[in-house]
Amino acid sequence: MVSADVFEVEEGVRFAHCDPAGIVFFPQYLVMLNTLHERWFDEGLQVPYAHYIAVRRLGLPTVRLECDFTAVTRQGERLRQRLAVAKLGRTSLELAAEFDCGGELRARFRQVLVCTSLATHKSHPLPEDLRSAMTRYVRAA
């Protein structure tokens, strides 16, 4: 991913992530992806995710998700997780994320999220402080 900034963290693969064969059970990748979003808010954007939900009463539900799982990941391995903004709109954004282990791509995601009011469940403009913080992660076209 080419970007002004890419949010990057590493996560160890735990027993709870794996199926009886000892490999990551694919729905657990989605749990990891959601955790990556929360960490991006907290650590990268400096906008506490819990505050965004509980105090601002805004949500960011997924309205489209594409996943490619390219190789097996096993318990004990470490996944490097990278996230960038592919598109940033007024009420929505498209994220691009990749998980790799030792340079080998394991999973790739494209995800569209829409900012919504938790009171009305209708779309809502992204708050300006959040949108401004996200701009540094927008990939160059």
Boundaries of every domain in the chain: 7-137
Q: How far is 79 from 10, CA to CA, in rounded Å?
A: 6
Q: How far is 85 from 83, CA to CA, in rounded Å?
A: 7
* pLDDT at residue 105 in the model: 98
* pLDDT at residue 2 in the model: 42
* Helix, strand and coil in the chain, % to nearest 5: 30, 40, 30
For the cut 70, the answer to whether the pLDDT of residue 4 exceeds it is no
* pLDDT at residue 1 in the model: 41
CATH architecture entry for 7-137 = Roll (3.10)
% pLDDT > 90, the chain: 94
Is 0.85 surpassed by the pTM of this model? yes
Q: Average pLDDT of 9-17?
A: 96
In the numeric block, the tokens 């829409």 are attached to 114
Q: Average pLDDT of 30-59?
A: 97
Please answer whether residues 32 and 99 qualify as being in contact, where contact means their C-beta atoms are separated by less than 8 angstroms: yes
Q: How far is 7 from 12, CA to CA, in rounded Å?
A: 17
* pLDDT at residue 141 in the model: 60
